[in-house]
Amino acid sequence: MTRAQLDKQPHEVAAMFDRTAKRYDLVNDVISLGQVRLWRKAVAQAVDAGPGEIVLDLGAGTGTSTDSFTSLGARAIASDFSLGMLATGVRRRGGNSLTGQGVPFIAGDALNLPFADDAFDAVTISVALRNVHDTEQALREMLRVTKPGGKLVILEFSHVTVKSFDLVYREYLMKLLPKVAKVFGSNDDSYEYLAESIRDWHDQPALAKIIQRAGWERVAWRNLNLGIVAIHRGYKPQG
Ligand SMILES: C[S@@+](CC[C@H](N)C(=O)[O-])C[C@H]1O[C@@H](n2cnc3c(N)ncnc32)[C@H](O)[C@@H]1O
């Protein structure tokens, strides 16, 4: 378990996201310099879910990550344990948590999902696995609720692969990012935690090993923006 995960208990993580919920998407756009929109498109392409398929977006927050799947015709469910993030997403879609623009918002803990076995064609989690207290248990739960042969797609901050750029990026991450986030409305330690949790997170091969250990097969990854983020993919064994 990483240092940042050790420092914050699950209820503290949920409370932190409750506090940042209203400004979350704006701050995300600003601190990623708009790149988050491209990352979401790449995730939707990796999930590649068509009409009739059902996708679980875990740690979905306000549901912005979920929208990229419904725009391709799939059905998608947004699930998260921060009621503040879910409520913000529901409000933006006109108020009904079960029918708001076709995306149901379901409160649930990634470590103990409120869904049946083999329920989803694909399970995905965007910039949220890092925040879950027990990475491997979350990956096992995702495996349980995915249909045999179904897909896992993870978007997560990762490790920059070009050394000279890594030095610049780390300066931005640890010094500038928390300051920029504060200007746009975050007035607590949430974005210091964000920066630390990114710095302390597994690199690409280490995360791939954890995914395999949890039972997924054919695990592979693709770097975006020189490894600032990576998309990991895996499949649930057929039988
Ligand atoms: C950085 S946000 C990502 C939101 C969204 N996926 C996106 O791409 O914008 C991380 C989310 O993970 C959620 N989260 C963290 N641990 C969780 C857990 N154990 N169960 C469910 N959600 C969790 C937080 O509440 C938060 O909304």
- The DSSP result for 43-98, as a single string, is HHHHH---TT-EEEEET-TTTHHHHHHHTTT-EEEEEES-HHHHHHHHHHTTS-TT
Instruction: Specify burial of residue 188 (Cβ count, 10 A radius: 0-12, 13-18, 19+).
Output: exposed
Is 117 known as a binding-site position? no
Cα–Cα–Cα angle for 154, 206, 216, nearest 5°?
50
CA distance 113 to 41: 26
Nearest to 153 by CA among 121, 187, 180: 121
What is the atom index within ligand 1 of the atom nearest the CA of 40? 8
ipTM entry: 0.99
CA distance 54 to 119: 8
pLDDT of 130: 94
pLDDT of 5: 47
For ligand 1, atom 10: residue with the closest CA = 128
> Does ligand 1 lie within 6 Å of residue 132's CB atom?
yes
Average pLDDT on 180-197 reads: 73
Tell how far the Cα of 109 is from the centroid of ligand 1, in angstroms.
Answer: 10
Which residue's entry shows tokens 């990483």?
2
Which residue's entry shows tokens 């923006």?
225
Is 62 known as a binding-site position? yes
Beta strands in 86-138 (DSSP E): 105-107, 120-126
- Which DSSP helix (H) or strand (E) runs through 115? none
For 239, the 3-state DSSP assignment is coil
Average pLDDT on 170-191 reads: 74
pLDDT, tens digit (0-9, with 9 covering 90-100), for 60-109: 999 999 988 887 788 999 999 999 999 999 998 877 665 555 789 999 99
pLDDT of 188: 62
Please give the domain boundaries of the chain with CATH numbers for all domains.
3-235 (3.40.50.150)
pLDDT of 167: 85
> Does ligand 1 lie within 6 Å of residue 29's CB atom?
no
pLDDT, tens digit (0-9, with 9 covering 90-100), for 201-217: 999 999 999 999 999 99
What is the best residue among 80, 106, 115, 137 to mutate for testing ligand 1's pocket, by most ligand atoms within 8 Å of CB? 80
Tell how far the Cα of 147 is from the centroid of ligand 1, in angstroms.
Answer: 23
pLDDT of 185: 63
Average pLDDT, the chain: 89
**Amino acid making up residue 33:** L
pLDDT of 98: 57
